[in-house]
Amino acid sequence: MKFDDKVPIYYQIKNYLYHQIITGELQPGEKLPSVRQLAIDVTANVNTVQRALSEMITEEVIVPQRGKGNFVTTDVKEIEQLKSKLVNEQISLAYQQLHALDLSDDEILTEFKQFMEDGDVQNERTIEDR
Amino acid sequence: MKFDDKVPIYYQIKNYLYHQIITGELQPGEKLPSVRQLAIDVTANVNTVQRALSEMITEEVIVPQRGKGNFVTTDVKEIEQLKSKLVNEQISLAYQQLHALDLSDDEILTEFKQFMEDGDVQNERTIEDR
Amino acid sequence: MKFDDKVPIYYQIKNYLYHQIITGELQPGEKLPSVRQLAIDVTANVNTVQRALSEMITEEVIVPQRGKGNFVTTDVKEIEQLKSKLVNEQISLAYQQLHALDLSDDEILTEFKQFMEDGDVQNERTIEDR
Amino acid sequence: MKFDDKVPIYYQIKNYLYHQIITGELQPGEKLPSVRQLAIDVTANVNTVQRALSEMITEEVIVPQRGKGNFVTTDVKEIEQLKSKLVNEQISLAYQQLHALDLSDDEILTEFKQFMEDGDVQNERTIEDR
DNA sequence: GTGGTCTAGACCACA
DNA sequence: GTGGTCTAGACCACG
């Protein structure tokens, strides 16, 4: 996994897991890979992964079961809220950033449409492009 | 200026100045506030500001004049490229993040339109309100 | 390490490392001493060393690995270019300086030959004897 | 005059004047341009020029005459020594730098010869290329 | 007054 | 233990 070294890695790992859960790659109630396996998957240190999980546990997005591992919450509502929250954050953030770059609402939409048409996914540095 | 402690401060200062330049609040050739003044403006340490400036100087977005101060480049083309680069980064980043949240292209556009209509600027962490 | 106080220390540290790399004292891919160790080695402050390294990182001559240390680039071509660039700079600089002192091309060569024969290394301010 | 901002400007001005004297552009006993004129000539601040002159006065390479201006020393021997000293410094410096870059004596001479043949004076940042 | 450099010391993220 | 970032405060070169 490529990391953007401008943001803490544990933070990017959290995002990665959020995405897995929201897109259903990790189903509600499903067991997460072991911390060590996750560490290998994302090529990060065990401690770093652990930190990401700890925060998600306090957020109750994942729930630990002693001796069994960590599980995605079964509370579907929780997950929906999570998605909605993340989407809103992204939209809001992007809007503000682009607005601050002097783009009007229309220009923002236009840029997006164009970007989508280009199908140009010159993505680097994101959590998804593994 | 409010800082997002997930990203280096010098980085956020760079962004702040980028925006100033792109929106024309800082005109090409215009003198920047002194390092010390900037430090006060953004409530950061002088050295932190200096670091941000140093990078922008190597990028040739701003040009230092010994003993006189720092100036925005007069190379308008340079500035246009800067804007274009920043916009693209934002669009690309947002697109990927939202796509990863399982939103289709249409859904992304819809969310944006809705967000714009709401005029709801529950913005935190943006560059303006710092 | 003795510093020439006519030039920034971080600059001299860069040169010191450049030489190490070019002469092969630091092999491609080899780990550099830790920042703190380097600071001791060259008797400079940690931050000063860090500044030197930062620049070399943006130049991609050295490559950082989070939490592991800094490494000499494995890109041998990069290193060759570096050497060639440094040699050219030195030759060009010396030539101009001597030419400006009213020495003809022949005289310059003669002076060098004589200097070499004398084996007279009344060197001060060089990178070696620091 | 282009300055290398890695070295103090007053230092570069000194070099500039040294060269003028050694090459005979400024004859022994000749009056130097006024400080203000020099400042214009080299596009530097009066104070900076003054500092360069002060040092040269203590070195007795130039001698001030109250109310009349500054004059090159009439002591020709002094000037010869100056030249010899500067040449030696340059040769020695260049030799060490190139030697440190792993060039043998022969390679150094070869590089110089080649440089001279190319007639390629890609000089920037030196005191001469005004 | 302006930027440039350096120091000393602290805290954080990561392995 | 390793690098990365930030702060506070000092001194210097230049205009």
Residues 6+ apart with CB under 8 A from D24: C102
pLDDT beyond 70 at B24: yes
What was the pLDDT predicted at D123?
46
Can you give the distance from the CA of residue D52 to the C1' of nucleotide E3 in angstroms? 21
What was the pLDDT predicted at A118?
84
**CA-CA-CA-CA torsion sign (C80, C85, C88, C93):** negative
Region of C102 on the Ramachandran plot (φ > 0 left; ψ -120 to 50 alpha; else beta): left
Residue C35, CA distances (Å) to B80, B106, C48 in order = 38, 50, 10
pLDDT beyond 80 at B127: no
Q: pLDDT-based confidence at D107, cuts 50/70/90? A: very high
> What average pLDDT does the structure give for chain D?
91
pLDDT 10s digits, B54-108: 999 999 999 999 999 999 999 999 999 999 999 999 999 999 989 989 999 999 9
Alpha carbon distance D39, D53 (integer Å): 11
Across the range B108-128, mean pLDDT stands at 73
Taking the CA atoms of residue D46, residue D47, residue D48 and residue D53 in that order, the dihedral angle to the nearest 10 degrees is 90
**CA-CA-CA-CA torsion sign (A127, B1, B2, B8):** positive
Q: Which of residues 53-92 of B touch A (CB under 8 A)?
A: 83, 86-87, 90-92
Q: pLDDT-based confidence at C124, cuts 50/70/90? A: very low
Q: Which amino acid is at C29?
A: G
Across the range B16-28, mean pLDDT stands at 96
Owner of token pair 């040769």: D91
State whether A115 and B125 contact (CB < 8 Å).
Answer: no
Between C126 and A90, the more confident residue is: A90
Alpha carbon distance C87, D112 (integer Å): 10
Give the number of other CB atoms < 10 A from CB of residue A69.
13
pLDDT beyond 70 at B129: no
Q: Which amino acid is at B79?
A: I
Alpha carbon distance D95, D109 (integer Å): 10
Residue A115, CA distances (Å) to A107, B65, D18, D70 in order = 12, 39, 61, 68
Alpha carbon distance B98, B108 (integer Å): 7
Cα nearest neighbour of A6 on chain B: B7
> What are B31's two structure tokens?
């003198």
> What are C60's two structure tokens?
């991609």
> Could you give the angle at the alpha carbon of A22 between the alpha carbons of A21 and A28, nearest 5°?
50
- Tell me the pairing of strands C62-65 and C69-72: antiparallel
Alpha carbon distance B2, A128 (integer Å): 29
Q: Is B95 exposed, middle or buried (0-12, 13-18, 19+ CB in 10 A)?
A: buried
What was the pLDDT predicted at C118?
85
CB contact at 8 A, C126 and C4: no
Collapsed DSSP state (helix, strand, coil) of residue A64: strand
Can you give the distance from the CA of residue A82 to the C1' of nucleotide F15 in angstroms? 58
pLDDT 10s digits, D1-41: 899 999 999 999 999 999 999 999 999 999 999 999 999 99
Collapsed DSSP state (helix, strand, coil) of residue C61: coil
Alpha carbon distance A96, A94 (integer Å): 5
Across the range D97-124, mean pLDDT stands at 85
Strand segments (E) across C8-125? 62-65, 69-72
Element holding B64 (H helix, E strand): strand B62-65
pTM assigned to the model: 0.88
Please provide the DSSP assignment of A3-29 as one string.
--TTS-HHHHHHHHHHHHHHTTSS-TT
pLDDT 10s digits, D66-83: 999 999 999 999 999 999
Between C63 and B119, the more confident residue is: C63
pLDDT beyond 60 at C126: no
Q: pLDDT tens per residue, chain A (130 residues)?
A: 889 999 999 999 999 999 999 999 999 999 999 999 999 999 999 999 999 999 999 999 999 999 999 999 999 999 999 999 999 999 999 999 999 999 999 999 999 999 999 865 544 444 444 4
Q: Among partner residues A100, A105, A129, which is closest to B126 by beta-carbon distance?
A: A100
Give the number of other CB atoms < 10 A from CB of residue B90.
21
Selection from A99, A83, A108, A100 nearest residue A20 by Cα:
A83
What was the pLDDT predicted at A129?
43
What was the pLDDT predicted at C121?
52
pLDDT 10s digits, C54-103: 999 999 999 999 999 999 999 999 999 999 999 999 999 999 999 989 99
What was the pLDDT predicted at B118?
85
Q: Which residues in range 9-48 of chain D are in contact with strand F, contact meaning CB within 7 A of any of its atoms? A: 9-11, 44-45, 47-48
3-state secondary structure chain D: CCCCCCCCHHHHHHHHHHHHHHCCCCCCCCECCCHHHHHHHCCCCHHHHHHHHHHHHHCCCEEEECCCEEEECCCHHHHHHHHHHHHHHHHHHHHHHHHHCCCCHHHHHHHHHHHHHHCCCCCCCCCCCC
Q: Among partner residues C7, C112, C125, which is closest to D95 by beta-carbon distance?
A: C112
> What average pLDDT does the structure give for chain C?
91
> What average pLDDT does the structure give for chain B?
91
What was the pLDDT predicted at D104?
95
Strand E footprint, Cβ within 7 Å: A 8-11, 44-45, 47-48, 51; B 32-37, 46-47, 50, 53-54, 57, 64, 66-70; C 8-11, 44-48, 51, 66-68; D 6
C-alpha Rg value of chain D to the nearest Å? 17
State whether B109 and A113 contact (CB < 8 Å).
Answer: yes
Selection from A95, A105, C77 nearest residue B94 by Cα:
A95
Q: Which residues in range 45-64 of chain C are in contact with strand F, contact meaning CB within 7 A of any of its atoms? A: 46-47, 50, 53-54, 57, 64
Alpha carbon distance D111, D117 (integer Å): 10
Q: Which residues of D11-30 are buried (b: 16+ CB within 10 A; e: fewer)?
A: bbbbbbbbbbbbeeebeeee
Q: Is C43 exposed, middle or buried (0-12, 13-18, 19+ CB in 10 A)?
A: exposed
pLDDT beyond 90 at B47: yes
Strand segments (E) across C36-82? 62-65, 69-72
Element holding B128 (H helix, E strand): none
